[in-house]
Amino acid sequence: MEKDIAKILFSQDDLDNKVKELGEKISKDYKDKELVLIGVLKGASVFMSDLMRSIDIPISIDFMAVSSYGLSTTSSGVVKILKDLDHSIEDKHVIIVEDIIDTGLTLHYICENLKSRKPKSLKICTLLDKPERRKVEMTVDYKGFDIPDEFIVGYGIDYAEKYRNLPYVGILKRNVYEK
Ligand code: IMP
Ligand code: MG
């Protein structure tokens, strides 16, 4: 796996520190509120499990799975719900937890869909953001890092279902996917 990584962008320490920072901020902002974290599978699973343990107020969690890229590296804009939430979010304060926002098409679709279920509030938390690639406007309320327009993997994020178990975030060598 390591030999396919061109450069490490964020080490385990970088990620730990940033996740703690985000967790503290969310804990403050949602004190005395009923908060549900919604993780977007599978990419956000590692971030989600670290983030929730850095939040020190009572919360509940749920997960949603959508298809976006398939096995390619560019967004199709076609989003399909593969797994829906287990519980209603009506009247709840909701934060969607994403691994990475690229064009924004996936999250835009998820947001519109969740808004129709009448949450009390709906915010976005993403570990990584590629702002220059955005195709739809969107407010990101909690963000870990901005990254350049490169294809990255690790810390839950995959290429063709591989590399999710790397403990850091790195840039994937182009020769791995440009064949
Ligand atoms: P968007 O719809 O273009 O914003 O794409 C969002 C989803 O595509 C993310 O949640 C990721 O799962 C995936 N994605 C976007 N950029 C990358 C990347 O650089 N590496 C791996 N997956 C990515
Ligand atoms: Mg994702």
Q: Is the CB of 41 under 6 A from ligand 1?
A: no
Q: Is the CB of 43 under 6 A from ligand 1?
A: yes
| Enzyme catalytic residues | 102
Q: Is the CB of 103 under 6 A from ligand 1?
A: yes
Q: Is the CB of 177 under 6 A from ligand 1?
A: no
Q: How far is the CA of 15 from the centre of ligand 1 (A)?
A: 18
- Report the nearest-CA residue for atom 11 of ligand 1: 100
Task: Tell me what the mean pLDDT of segment 169-178 comes to.
Answer: 96
Q: How far is the CA of 100 from the centre of ligand 1 (A)?
A: 6
Nearest to 157 by CA among 168, 149, 143: 168
Q: How far is the CA of 43 from the centre of ligand 2 (A)?
A: 5
pLDDT for 35-71, tens place per residue? 999 999 999 999 999 999 999 999 999 999 998 655 5
Tell me the angle at which helices 12-29 and 45-53 cross, rounded to the nearest 10 degrees: 60
User: Cβ distance 36 to 89 under 8 Å?
Assistant: yes
Tokens of 161: 């279902």
The pLDDT value given to residue 179: 74
Q: Is the CB of 75 under 6 A from ligand 1?
A: yes
Question: Residues 76-83: contacts with CB within 8 Å, 24+ apart?
Answer: 77/103, 77/105, 77/135, 79/105, 79/106, 79/109, 79/110, 81/113, 82/41, 83/41
pLDDT for 88-124, tens place per residue? 999 999 999 999 999 999 999 999 999 999 999 999 9
The pLDDT value given to residue 79: 83
pTM (2 decimals)? 0.94
Domains along the chain with CATH numbers: 14-148 (3.40.50.2020)
Whether residue 75 has pLDDT greater than 90: no
Tokens of 79: 């989003």
Atom of ligand 1 nearest to the CA of 79: 2
pLDDT for 121-166, tens place per residue? 999 999 999 999 999 999 999 999 999 999 999 999 999 999 999 9
The pLDDT value given to residue 73: 59
Q: How far is CA 87 from CA 20, 45, 92, 143, in A?
A: 27, 18, 11, 26
